[in-house]
């Protein structure tokens, strides 16, 4: 019987180095069947430990490609480990594949791989040790697989490098918050470094979780001697470091690479000792894989990914234009948001599917934690499942039916829940009634095992033009709810609906609410008045110590006597702005010129001429790639004004489909091509990277583009390019086929059947112009 967290547990040590010592090579997991006696010998040598881990680190269907069945190896491994006469934890390592979006392994495939492991081992082991994971997303898939398919305890550890981050950039605080949220029994660190080097990580984990912390370090930092890896840390030194960790409050200890029975025997004296650690004050924390937001003072939640009242976003959602949604996310991040609301609720769409894809798309580019906002529990569950971190769920209210559906989802995925102080009878008039609902929500959450620090309350803003006196009730309720010990949120801009000069009312109400204890204003972060009010409040309330954040953000802002920013570059023409790459200014001037000039006259007479000059200077080596791209961006901004001025569905030139071919995951060059050719007025459909020939054929058939641009970076993916071209021709799709990329040249392009090869983005833009003019003539 293991007293996890109360008494210290000692795990066994390194296995690989022991196998090496016995002269055993090959696939370690297969030794469970081919050399059981040797494997048992090692397990028995570790019988001084309280828990023995199986020799199954690489045993999952993605990593293990040998000839034995997963089940038979799992069974043999557990039987071997039982030889030590101690409880047996099944050892689970990473798949060895890189998870999406950077890699190719999908969350669902990772989950299914670990589900197979769970099914093969759940009846023969006493628990699981998930170890040496370096990707938060992968360990989340693994934890869910074991939680959903077994009832055994799960200990989960990750590796950290000397920067005290996992190899995918997660801090110890992010790891602790996520693993605790997902409901493991103990969490910690293994492998990575030696015990001394891990002290910092261990201290940060202990300060970030109430769960037992497990540590299994390497035997110091390895050195190379005569071509062999040697660990020089002595048993005494290892013991001293472990002793220090035990004093810090660690609950389970063991060893990883290079550790031996000698070292484990030495630290086994800690077995059964009482765990003593300082209490941890849990916070209201949400996180992505790389960014943590502790909602303790004021955190801005960006409201722009919510279709209510936003025509363009509605269109983007119904067309599943995730590029638009990603750009909205990044703009808010740049503007200073701490969390982003994501609401995909439109009557005409499959909200569950769109929400899932939107969250996947946003988390590929944007680091901010997300607030998943829906009234559909299915959409919330699907999004919380594939979210890489701990989300905020928006929302529940005091209605029992709603709470019964949402709280189990929040509990399972460790989410923080936003509770609206209303119920099926609507928003109560008085602050006292809203407080009662908040109390009900907190109590009911507790029934589902959700602690108070995982609850936030929104005391609800009612528009002042309709019920002016309720603004005061909202603020009063805010103060009362703070007394319950939970954090608060408000959707500020509702206050001004139906009134003129909304920004003035919004920022004034925001300042009032902040003063009464608002923790998370849900606002448009692109509104400088709103973010500025928050930043100023943070200074005046001493949250922003030394006004560091404020100075950093506003030091370069020039204030004119009329409190407005200086109009820089006032004398420049549209041509100059394109030439100098001034995006915002170019868009403004283009809008002005459209009042007196025909759109196509601006395109031909100004934009293309400016681009041609930039192109010439670029080719002469006078301008460089960044300036070329900046000019293209400025021109693209001008083109978006032109497009708006043209009749709906009319095209300036035509469409171009771009794709990086199947098997190729590098798309930087292709992305630069996109910017440059868009600046010449082409409408680009970007299919992304690793695109199958069939999809390219389908998209070309649908969009009927003037041209297709295919990109490949390495020789290994040129065959995929050739296949794509062959399929396009077989389908008899009339389009100009361009190829480009580091490994291509004229000769290869001709050989694989392409119509055109261009060496860079500008080359493609010019060739397109030439073909376009020829066609027009």
Partner 1 sequence: MQEISLSEIAALRPRIYGYMGYVGTASDIQTDNMITECIRELERTAQFNYIYKYSEELPPFLEKEPYRSYLEGSRGVIICAMTLGIAVDRIINRLLRISPSKGAVMNACAGAYLEYLCDTYEERFGSDRGARFCPGYGGSRTEDLKYIFEILDTHKIGIVLNENYFMLPSKSMAGIIAIGGNARAGCGSCIMAGSCAYLKEGAKCFTQGKK
Indicate whether 758 belongs to the interface with partner 1 (CB under 8 A): no
Which residues touch 368 (CB under 8 Å, ≥6 apart)? 288, 291, 293, 302, 329, 332, 333, 337, 338, 339, 340
Work out the burial of residue 69: count CB atoms within 10 Å of its CB; fewer than 13 is exposed, 13-18 middle, 19 or more buried: exposed
Residue number with CB closer to partner 1 (327 or 612) = 327
Contact 70, 116 (CB under 8 A): yes
- Considering Cα of 374, then 380, then 384, then 386, what sign does the dihedral take? negative
Question: How many CA atoms are closer than 13 Å to the CA of 330, on its beta-carbon side?
Answer: 10
Neighbours of 163 (CB within 10 A): 9
672 makes contact with partner 1 (CB under 8 A): yes
- Shortest Å distance, C-beta 630 to partner 1: 4
Q: Which residues have CB under 8 Å from 182's CB, separation 6+?
A: 140, 143, 144, 147, 413, 414
Pick one of 309, 546, 626, 647: the residue that binds partner 1 (CB under 8 A): 626
* One-character DSSP codes across 557-568: PPPPTTS----T
723 binds partner 1 per the rule CB under 8 A: no
Distance from the first to the final alpha carbon of the chain: 86
Q: Which of residues 211-230 bind partner 1 (CB under 8 A)?
A: 224, 227, 229
Using CA atoms, how far apart are residues 273 and 317, in angstroms rounded to an integer?
57
Buried b (16+ CB within 10 A) or exposed e, 413-423: bbbbbbbbbbb
Output the smallest distance, CB 326 to partner 1, in A: 7
In angstroms, the CA 763 to CA 254 distance is 60
717 counts as binding partner 1 under rule CB under 8 A: yes
Residues numbered 547 to 606 that lie near partner 1 (CB under 8 A) are: 581
Binding to partner 1 in span 101-120, by CB under 8 A: 102-104
Query: Site size for partner 1, by CB under 8 A?
Result: 57
DSSP state of 63: T
Among 331, 503, 597, 695, which residue interacts with partner 1 (rule: CB under 8 A)? 331
CB-side neighbour CA atoms (13 Å) of 8: 24
Q: Which is nearer to partner 1, 320 or 367 (CB)?
A: 367
733 is an interface residue for partner 1 by CB under 8 A: no
Closer CB to partner 1, residue 40 or residue 767? 767
Extract the tokens encoding 65. Answer: 């490609």
Stretch that binds partner 1, among 26-34, 206-214, 399-407, 630-638 (CB under 8 A): 630-638
- Examine residue 629 and tell whether it contacts partner 1 (CB under 8 A): yes
- Which residues on adjacent β-strands are paired with residue 90? 128
Q: How far is the CB of 206 from partner 1 (least distance, A)?
A: 23
Would you count residue 529 as binding partner 1 (CB under 8 A)?
A: no
What's the CA gap between 606 and 590, in Å, rounded?
A: 10
Q: Where are the alpha helices (DSSP H) in 495-527?
A: 502-515
Q: Which is nearer to partner 1, 438 or 761 (CB)?
A: 761
Binding mask 641-670 for partner 1 (x = CB under 8 A): ----------------------xxxx-x--
Q: Does the footprint of partner 1 cover residue 771 (CB under 8 A)?
A: no
Tell me whether residue 38 or residue 666 sits nearer to partner 1 (CB atom). 666
**In the complex, what is the shortest distance from the CB of residue 691 to partner 1, in angstroms, rounded to a whole number?**
14
Residues 423-462 that bind partner 1 (CB under 8 A): none
- Which residue number, 102 or 645, has a Cβ lying nearer to partner 1? 102
Q: Which of 22, 499, 600, 625 binds partner 1 (CB under 8 A)?
A: 625
Under rule CB under 8 A, which residues in 354-373 are in contact with partner 1? 364-367
Check residue 334 for interaction with partner 1 (CB under 8 A): yes
Q: How far is the CB of 619 from partner 1 (least distance, A)?
A: 11
Q: Which residues of 734-755 are buried (b: 16+ CB within 10 A; e: fewer)?
A: ebbbbbbbeebeeebbeebebb
Residue with Cβ nearer partner 1 (625 or 646) = 625
Find where tokens 């108070």 sit: 452
Q: Which of 508, 627, 643, 685 binds partner 1 (CB under 8 A)?
A: 627
Q: What is the DSSP letter of 596?
A: T
Q: Using CB under 8 A, list all residues that contact partner 1.
A: 94, 96-98, 102-104, 132, 134-135, 159, 161, 163, 165, 167-169, 191, 224, 227, 229, 290, 326-327, 330-331, 334, 364-367, 581, 621, 623-630, 632-633, 663-666, 668, 671-672, 675, 713-717, 760
């Amino acid at each position: 019987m293991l007293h996890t967290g109360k008494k210290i547990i000692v795990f066994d040590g390194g296995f690989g180095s022991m196998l090496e010592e016995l002269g055993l090579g090959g696939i370690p997991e297969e030794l469970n069947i081919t050399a059981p006696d040797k494997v048992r010998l090692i397990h028995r040598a570790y019988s001084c430990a309280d828990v023995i881990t199986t020799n199954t680190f690489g045993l999952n269907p993605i990593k293990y490609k040998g000839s034995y069945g997963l089940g038979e190896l799992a069974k043999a491994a557990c039987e071997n480990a039982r030889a030590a006469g101690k409880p047996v934890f099944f050892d689970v390592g990473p798949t060895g594949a890189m998870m999406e979006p950077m890699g190719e392994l999908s969350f669902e495939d990772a989950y299914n791989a670990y589900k197979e492991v769970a099914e093969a081992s759940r009846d023969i082991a006493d628990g699981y040790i998930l170890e040496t994971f370096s990707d938060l997303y992968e360990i989340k898939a693994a934890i869910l697989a074991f939680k959903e398919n077994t009832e055994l305890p799960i200990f989960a550890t990750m590796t950290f490098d000397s920067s005290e981050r996992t190899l995918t950039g997660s801090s110890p605080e992010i790891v602790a918050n996520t693993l605790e949220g997902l409901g493991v029994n103990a969490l910690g660190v293994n492998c990575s470094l030696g015990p001394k080097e891990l002290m910092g990580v261990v201290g940060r984990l202990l300060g970030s979780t109430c769960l037992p912390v497990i540590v299994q370090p390497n035997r110091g930092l390895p050195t190379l001697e005569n071509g062999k890896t040697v660990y020089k840390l002595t048993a005494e030194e290892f013991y001293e470091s472990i002793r220090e960790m035990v004093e810090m409050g660690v609950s389970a200890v063991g060893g990883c690479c290079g550790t031996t029975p000698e070292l484990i025997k030495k630290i086994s004296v800690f077995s059964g000792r009482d765990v003593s650690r300082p209490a941890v004050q849990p916070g209201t924390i949400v996180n992505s894989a790389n960014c943590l937001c502790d909602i303790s003072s004021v955190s801005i939640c960006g409201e722009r990914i919510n279709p209510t009242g936003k025509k363009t976003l509605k269109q983007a959602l119904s067309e599943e234009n995730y590029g638009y949604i990603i750009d909205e996310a990044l703009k808010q991040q740049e503007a200073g948001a701490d969390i982003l609301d994501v609401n995909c609720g439109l009557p005409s769409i499959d909200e569950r599917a769109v929400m899932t894809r939107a969250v996947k798309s946003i988390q590929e580019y944007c680091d901010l934690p997300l607030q998943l906002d829906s009234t559909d529990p299915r959409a919330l569950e699907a999004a919380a499942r594939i979210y890489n971190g701990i989300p905020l769920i928006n929302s529940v209210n005091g209605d029992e039916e709603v709470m019964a559906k949402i709280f189990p989802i929040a509990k399972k995925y460790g989410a923080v829940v936003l509770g609206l102080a209303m119920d099926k009878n609507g928003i109560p008039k008085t602050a006292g009634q809203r407080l009662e609902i908040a109390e009900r929500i907190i109590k009911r959450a507790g029934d589902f095992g959700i602690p108070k620090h995982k609850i936030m309350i929104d005391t609800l803003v009612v528009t002042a033009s309709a019920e002016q006196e309720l603004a005061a009730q909202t603020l009063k309720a805010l103060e009362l709810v703070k007394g319950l010990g939970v954090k608060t949120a408000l959707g500020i801009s509702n206050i001004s609906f139906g009134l003129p000069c909304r920004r003035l009312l919004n920022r004034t109400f925001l300042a009032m609410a902040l003063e009464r204890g608002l923790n998370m204003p849900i606002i448009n972060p692109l509104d400088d008045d709103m973010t500025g009010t928050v930043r100023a409040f943070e200074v005046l309330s001493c949250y922003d110590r030394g006004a560091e954040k404020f100075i950093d953000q506003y030091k370069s802002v020039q204030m004119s006597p009329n409190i407005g920013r200086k109009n820089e570059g006032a004398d420049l023409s549209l041509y100059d702005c394109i030439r100098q790459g001034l995006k915002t200014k170019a868009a403004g001037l283009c809008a002005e010129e459209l009042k007196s000039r025909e759109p196509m006259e601006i395109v031909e007479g100004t934009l293309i001429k400016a681009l041609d000059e930039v192109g010439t200077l670029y080719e002469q080596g006078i301008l460089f790639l960044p300036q070329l791209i900046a000019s293209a961006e400025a021109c693209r901004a001008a083109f978006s004004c032109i497009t708006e001025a043209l009749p709906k569905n009319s095209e300036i030139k035509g469409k171009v489909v771009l794709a990086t071919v199947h098997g190729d995951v590098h798309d930087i060059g292709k992305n630069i091509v996109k910017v440059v050719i868009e600046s010449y007025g082409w409408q680009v459909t970007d299919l992304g990277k690793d695109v199958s020939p069939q999809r390219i054929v389908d998209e070309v058939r649908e969009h009927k583009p003037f041209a297709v641009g295919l990109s490949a970076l390495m020789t290994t993916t040129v065959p995929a390019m050739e296949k794509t071209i062959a399929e396009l021709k077989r389908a008899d799709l009339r389009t100009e086929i361009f190829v480009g990329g580091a490994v291509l040249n004229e000769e290869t392009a001709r050989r694989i059947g392409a119509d055109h090869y261009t060496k860079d983005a500008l080359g493609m833009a010019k060739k397109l112009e030439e073909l376009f003019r020829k066609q027009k003539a």
